[in-house]
């Protein structure tokens, strides 16, 4: 074999050996440019837009999983990889904090919401005043009142607190259809499988098949606050994402979906 042929053969061998390393480097770079976020189901429409805007600005792709805050925190506790956690209530963020599953130094109260009573868009029900005199069980007729599981899912916890405060719990409790997250409750009403539902105002806003027929008084339950934080094992890019959630651009998106933004814009 000539000297030139030996050189070409050696170069080819080197390139073949280098391919796995190049692939590994590309995969590492891909991992660096992806954040994993766990967020309450009620945030899906707004946060999908926020994630898209963040990706365009930063080049960092955020993959967000949505479910009840309770279910997501339990997954994190069991080792599911997540860089950012956004809860629909303080309780489950506190749960994570107590177990050192989140980075407390990054925690912020990001968004606020309203608890509402909904019905199908074609329902004859409209404009009810939610108070101690409301015959909620009677309004549901032979049907059910869809909401989250009152033992764990934030919207269900808010709903139970409100119904108890208003003196409606004993009559309404047997009528409840408790589901795994707020969007599942929304679907039941949208499909006509439940005549009433207790969800967040932002959920009703994105579902044209339902309408809000009443708003629960603010003092009937704890303030609906959605905190956000990096997890204890988050990648460094998580802080960039949290900063963006506080930006004026993100604020505009959140407000367009009906959320109140509780924190001043960072830029």
Residue 27 pLDDT = 42
pTM of the model: 0.85
CB 204 within 8 A of CB 212: yes
Q: Where in the chain is the domain with CATH 3.40.190.10?
A: 32-112+224-261, 115-220
Fold exhibited by the domain 115-220: D-Maltodextrin-Binding Protein; domain 2 (3.40.190)
Q: How far, in Å, CA of 44 to CA of 54, rounded? A: 15
Return the residue matching tokens 């989250």: 148
Question: How far, in Å, are 88, 89, 158, 204 from residue 194 at the CA level?
Answer: 23, 25, 19, 14
Q: To which residue do tokens 């934030």 refer?
A: 154
> Does the structure show a pLDDT above 60 at 80?
yes
Pick the residue with more confidence: 2 or 173?
173
The pLDDT tens digits for 101-140 are 999 999 999 999 999 999 999 999 999 999 999 999 999 9
Least confident of 13-22, 29-38, 148-157: 13-22
Strand bridging mode 210-215 / 145-148: unpaired
pLDDT tens-digit readout, 142-189: 999 999 999 999 999 999 999 999 999 999 999 999 999 999 999 999
Superfamily in which the 32-112+224-261 domain is placed by CATH: Periplasmic binding protein-like II (3.40.190.10)
């Amino acid at each position: 074999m000539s000297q030139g042929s030996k050189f070409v053969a050696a170069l080819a061998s080197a390139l073949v050996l280098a391919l796995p390393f190049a692939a590994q480097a590309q995969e590492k770079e891909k991992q660096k440019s992806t954040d994993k976020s766990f967020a309450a189901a009620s945030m899906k429409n707004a946060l999908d837009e926020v994630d898209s805007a963040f990706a365009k600005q930063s080049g960092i792709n955020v993959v967000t999983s949505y479910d009840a805050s309770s279910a997501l925190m339990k997954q994190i506790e069991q080792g599911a990889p997540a860089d950012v956690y956004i809860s629909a209530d303080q309780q489950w963020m506190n749960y994570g904090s107590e177990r050192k599953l989140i980075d407390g130094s990054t925690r912020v109260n990001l968004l606020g919401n309203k608890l509402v009573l909904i019905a199908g868009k074609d329902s004859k029900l409209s404009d009810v005043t939610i108070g101690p005199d409301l015959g909620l069980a009677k309004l549901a007729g032979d049907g059910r009142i869809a909401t989250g599981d009152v033992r764990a899912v934030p919207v269900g916890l808010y709903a139970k607190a409100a119904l108890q405060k208003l003196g409606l719990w004993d009559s309404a409790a047997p009528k409840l259809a408790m589901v795994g997250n707020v969007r599942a409750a929304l679907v039941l009403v949208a499909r006509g499988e439940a005549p009433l539902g207790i969800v967040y105002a932002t959920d009703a806003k994105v579902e044209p098949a339902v309408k809000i027929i009443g708003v629960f008084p603010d003092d009937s339950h704890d303030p609906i606050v959605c905190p956000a934080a990096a997890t204890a094992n988050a990648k460094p890019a998580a802080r960039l994402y949290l900063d963006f959630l506080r930006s004026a651009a993100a604020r505009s998106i959140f407000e367009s979906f009906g959320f109140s933004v509780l924190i001043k814009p960072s830029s």
